[in-house]
Amino acid sequence: MQADAVCYARAVRTQEWPAMSDGKGSAAPSVWSTDFRLTFRTLEGQPVFGMLVAADNKRSDEREERLTQATSSIPAAIFWFLLATLVITVTALGVCLPRKNNRGQLITLTVITALLTTMLVIIRDVDRPFGGIINVTPTAITEVERQATRDFLAHSPAAELPCDGQGNRRAV
């Protein structure tokens, strides 16, 4: 179980986290969560079984929440529509400006264009929290991985983890 926990954390940190910046997940962590459930079957009926299942359900729910947050809630078509509307609006306003003595209008148009463009970039960035300027880093899962690795090595110093540094299962 400890080795699977280390491998699960590695798979989330190195494979799933980068995939979430594109609004996707990774199948790599599922390999290890399946191993958890196989181990739980052997413990069914024992006092610790309920506690382990509850912890696994919480882990699974948190993963689903992470993947939901990674999925963009604004469809790409709407974002591109907003961008096209901005371009058309700015172009139309630019065409309507007087040809002479238009310094104030040009400055105003430039400021409004910059503000609206910044607003669209911020909306896009907030909608995708695992990539971009507002980048949620895997700090918590990195700490979990560190602690799980430390505990595994403390209890099984001669044992080797069943995964590589990216959380992929080693060939048997």
157 and 7 in contact (C-beta within 8 Å)?
A: no
Q: Is the pLDDT of residue 146 over 70?
A: yes
Taking residues 126-151, report their average pLDDT. Answer: 89
Closest to 16 in 3D by CA, of 36, 4, 30, 35: 30
* Rounded CA separation 122/124 (Å): 5
Q: What is the largest CA-CA distance in the chain?
A: 86
The predicted pLDDT at position 142 comes to 94
Nearest 5°: phi and psi at 159? -80, 155
Quick: pLDDT tens for 153-168. 999 888 899 999 999 9
- pLDDT tens readout for residues 16-29: 999 998 888 899 99
Number of Cα atoms under 13 Å in the Cβ half of residue 125 = 11
Instruction: Read off the pLDDT of residues 48-75 as tens digits, 9 standing for 90 and up.
Output: 888 888 988 999 999 999 888 888 888 8
Q: Which of 4, 43, 48, 13 lies closest to 156, judged by CA? A: 4
- The rounded percent of the chain whose pLDDT value lies above 90 is 57
pLDDT confidence of residue 50: 85
Predicted confidence (pLDDT) per residue in 31-48, tens digit: 999 988 888 888 888 888
Q: Which amino acid is at 155?
A: H
pLDDT of residue 119 exceeding 90, the answer is yes
The pair of three-digit structure tokens given for residue 61, joined into one six-digit string: 């729910």
Q: Both tokens of residue 16?
A: 């799933």
Confidence of residue 172 (pLDDT cuts 50, 70, 90): low
Average pLDDT, the chain: 90
Band (pLDDT 50/70/90 cuts) for residue 117 is very high
- Between CA 66 and CA 11, with CA 27 as vertex, the angle to 5 degrees is 70
Write down the pLDDT at residue 70: 87
Q: Which pLDDT tens digit goes with each residue over 73-102?
A: 888 899 999 999 999 999 999 998 888 888
Domain residue ranges of the chain, discontinuous segments joined by +: 2-72+137-155, 76-127
pTM: 0.76
